[in-house]
Structure 1
């Protein structure tokens, strides 16, 4: 069935067949790896009844990634697993259950809008490696300073995220360098795949936390902020790899200035879009990851794009409820508000299979990171 588009100007697409799509699950040993890390503990899943009322659903939860492994974003999950796998492979130790540094220092290279680069730099420092991080134009100076504080070399690129990725890939061609990038393209897919696997721990925690809260059948809707789509791929993998049970609707949320996944879903093929300025810097990506795309195309129920003003209002709302959220993390709430509460919401609710008793989970992917030089959140 072709995508159904919203009759109002809201940048939105819904895909009714996505809930029947299936894929293989993430490796079971990822959670064990993270559990063995010194700073690991599950991040909170906070129930916010006032948000449930606002969204017109039964219960609303926020998965709060504002402090994950000592950093203010979920990215450390993917970076830690991918760096571990890459260094273990390079050193010939295979798949050891604990982090194993390579016998000689290497340079871990990446491009970032902020949080991924800081996570790679943190892992490099912890494991006695070097880090070289490329940041595109428009990244906030505080984010750059936070990466520098992790003792990484930083190169600021006078261009968009995609150009920073290209420059990082060139730099990683050196024999003593390894590219740890969270977007993939033909010929570079294994490490981005490991990063996605690392994010599966977040989803496993949600299962356990919802069960503890008395949610037996799982969520009805999961809203996830999207840049190149790696976290969304992990979410799709988690919920679309189950052989039975009621699958939730999965909603991706992007800035209107960089809605590459929405545009790709609308056209039915992976495309690049020009990007503009946005306060959602970590989502300011013009091309979906080629690794993520088959999962996004197969398993995402809907995609929506939101404005900076939407995101800012959502961040303020979460702050008032005691949840620290940066503009990217607040995008999940902004998108859910637009889909479930704005004009035309009745049609969208029906398309997503939601009603007044539904359970909604919002992924708050980052905190405000008020002190980027702090070693902890």
Structure 2
């Protein structure tokens, strides 16, 4: 870790000690990914989201290529989270009916015959916005109910988006992790089905399904790069809240590429860096960040690592970074105002942070040591996943139009 950079970082010197051609991640194996992709392809709304190549910015930052996977196009919901939530809902229904999810399409799930077989279900979750909207959307498609709890400080815009999907939704006076506990208690007391990407001992099956669902986006990316004749990235930046998204993508890369996987950098906001804290304590266990977490990266404002994701992130990520909010704000402005020839990308607070970190690493001599530790140079090929668009349009405009959170 160093104090000469605008953020704190930890290098995982053990990440490559496990090196073999193939690393087994059973719950993210090839058969599972095939089932996930088939399920999502059965949605009428399904389209592969764009993979943008930022050639001009790559030249500016002196790397070979920067790709942005743009999840603002996902199912018309402006964020990737619906991939995990919808797959978990599908798996729950398949499990309840005693059938394999391969035998279910989304059209079958939406049918009146299926509704009659299932009866009335209420799906319950806690969210900063994107996950809850995805669960509410999936429940609405199935003709079922949803109840969504949001932590204190959540955006009214995100709340309204969830309500428009038919959910009973409210903003609590609690932080994210306590809102999760409130949602779990409500589900237990009201015969609801609790669908959460956070996991802990005794609650890991559904969070595992959610992580499996996220793999659609990285499998798409793999296909898109192959279709363009591109080599696989040398580096990937993965933002982390509880770690489910980052663990999902890293698990896929381990399964698909083994020791040839990209160098993987985990990025979190300073105020909610529970993965960073857990690595820093260095006893092998996950550790929580407590209290309120005032960061613009609302989707990452989570204090307790997912137990399903933690082992993957602990053992196989190459670096962990904790950064201030202005890092993400800068990247939002960069993507909204691209260099000539590059596409414009609308990326929200939790979506842009990886690019913000990359830009700081490549812009100044003070970061040469960090770049060297990451083996990052003019031949590097970088993948960034923009996990959301302007899911809070008012907040987005304050940052991009008004310059809120200026660069240090």
TM tier relative to shorter chain: over 0.9
**2:15 maps to what in 1?**
18
**1:375 maps to what in 2?**
none
- Return closer, same or farther for 1:342/1:289 CA change in 2, 3 Å cut-off: farther
Segments of structure 2 that go 5 or more residues without pairing to the other structure are: 339-343, 395-408
Question: Matched residue of 1:67: which SS?
Answer: helix
Q: CA deviation at 1:94?
A: 4.0
Distance 1:35 1:88 in 2: 17
**2:319 maps to what in 1?**
302
Tell me the TM-score normalised to structure 1 length: 0.92
In structure 1, which of residues 170, 176, 181 is the aligned counterpart of residue 196 of structure 2?
Answer: 181
- Return closer, same or farther for 1:243/1:152 CA change in 2, 3 Å cut-off: closer
**1:358 maps to what in 2?**
380
Question: Matched residue of 2:260: which SS?
Answer: coil
Q: CA deviation at 1:371?
A: 6.9
Distance 2:36 2:336 in 1: 31
**2:239 maps to what in 1?**
225
Written as runs of structure 1 = structure 2, the 5 A alignment for 1:113-262 is 113-174=128-189, 176-216=191-231, 218-242=232-256, 246-262=260-276
Range that drifts further, 147-156 or 118-127: 147-156
Q: CA deviation at 1:191?
A: 0.3
Range that drifts further, 43-52 or 166-175: 166-175
The answer on whether the counterparts of 1:19 and 1:240 sit within 8 Å (CA) in structure 2 is: no
Tell me the TM-score normalised to structure 2 length: 0.86
In structure 1, which of residues 78, 81, 93 is the aligned counterpart of residue 84 of structure 2?
Answer: 78
The Cα offsets for residues 158-202 of structure 1, whole Å up to 9 and x where unpaired, read as 011011000011011146311100110100000000000001111
**1:33 maps to what in 2?**
39
Q: CA deviation at 1:364?
A: 0.4
- Return closer, same or farther for 1:264/1:344 CA change in 2, 3 Å cut-off: farther
The Cα offsets for residues 125-183 of structure 1, whole Å up to 9 and x where unpaired, read as 00011000010001111001111111101132101101100001101114631110011
**2:400 maps to what in 1?**
none
The answer on whether the counterparts of 1:255 and 1:284 sit within 8 Å (CA) in structure 2 is: yes
Distance 1:168 1:76 in 2: 18
Q: CA deviation at 1:109?
A: 0.4
Written as runs of structure 1 = structure 2, the 5 A alignment for 1:299-338 is 299-321=316-338, 322-338=344-360
Distance 1:135 1:315 in 2: 24
Distance 1:190 1:89 in 2: 11
Q: CA deviation at 1:245?
A: 6.3
The answer on whether the counterparts of 1:19 and 1:249 sit within 8 Å (CA) in structure 2 is: no
Q: Any runs of at least 4 consecutive aligned residues in structure 1 with deviations exceeding 6 A, and if so which?
A: none
Segments of structure 1 that go 5 or more residues without pairing to the other structure are: 373-377
